[in-house]
Structure 1
């Protein structure tokens, strides 16, 4: 077991980070993605700091990896992300997370959800650069010096030019690195993405910059790298839609830990195997497979289907149990193999 902090974005070493996605990249999904050997570390779904600081038991509930050294069962380090607008409560929550075992803290200034923004969280802070600096500085001062404190933000609320001042404030506040999603809050997840401003920020800042947003294919990654000059990248939805993509990007970055996986990435991936692993890790964390698990499996398949990674969603979308879904997928695979 390595003793150094493995949640680190260094100017000297490339990184591929699994993005936080609320309701999607929970602990079981992080464990599945950790099996690929492609990711440097993952960022947890955000924990919201509201009228009170987050208690330790909530960190253990939502980021159970804290009970196992801050890593998934598959060895993927997990950074804890928190979201809120009050510097003092954010600082207390971050310190609580560290005392619970967090090896890194990420601050969310990018969530575009209206319910979050109406309550002074996420991307709403992009309209208040000084507050971004104050929040980061408060957290940085509160947590041990060896714990990295990073920030994730969008280009701005409604203007891509806002990223320059907001990024400066993040650096002034003491952020260890900055992840930038290449859209504004007003855009949500609509095209286009603007990678060029990320490169402009990277050239000015002295801290590492992580590029994020619409890296759906290896070709997208190569264009993003060319336009931004970044050595660090974060992907989320695309990793689920195309499970081969993380391997290919990691190979390009020279950081892949699973060479066998990189070879497999050139072949069709086995959805039955992937979904089975998600069920197994769900059982690992919850001691049972909840009734809603079939919805989780179909959620993953629908995301893949929307981006060409799965072609049989019509066959499974109305199935009501995990057993029915696996039977359908296994039968389809048997038919396909019989045609070869």
Structure 2
């Protein structure tokens, strides 16, 4: 019986560890040939010497399990590196069908303490990195569609975060980048749909090198299991990978421009923000006094949890 991704080629960026590794292994398990990209720097802030070892180790793990994989050492935020990454997939396997953008770094700081470099570096790797690979993949798919006279199989799965949905006080750079990725995703979905390409974004929760501080206090046991009973950590990256495999498949052809939150055996489909209230001026133009009379009492009575920058995100436990 053919696997869902048999004959397809995937790129996974930042796939040397954590989420990217789990996603690359899952795509390979489902039959895809995988280009495992990673820059291999030891620091989660992007510091240290680049190393091919993390990507090569994951590619070797895939091949040892009977799959097909090659490693790519490259910085996706570098335009030329991103071009070479897409070229490697096409040169090695004859085509590119799936792009999973996962690479990222963290340089956390409160907005009043953040340096220009801390801002620029995070925006560069996350947002520009997503754009670079998307650009070259889009060029490939557009050319294929025109040459073949019809749609192709193209899948983009981008990695956003709940930090953009609900705010993250110590991560203004990261939250901004992840919000930008959602905008990039929806724009790409509209632009490439006619070529047979879909673009979706996920907001994963996973216990990885990048989130070791964030989830340090979260229990590993899923709801209903006592501490120490063993089993898969509720925040294991392996909980996220199956959704990526599905979105990469022909079965998800009708899923486009979506934002999905995923963790611990739960997938939630997010909607774009809705208008909570609307106020019209009684005259031709609002005055300060009129706005004060309308908005001040409204916000005074509105619960804090209903604000756009709500302090809480989706509950970890699910029913």
Q: Which bracket does the TM-score occupy, shorter chain normalised?
A: 0.3 to 0.5
Which has the greater radius of gyration?
A: 2
Bigger helix share:
1
After TM superposition, the score normalised by the length of structure 1 is: 0.35
After TM superposition, the score normalised by the length of structure 2 is: 0.37
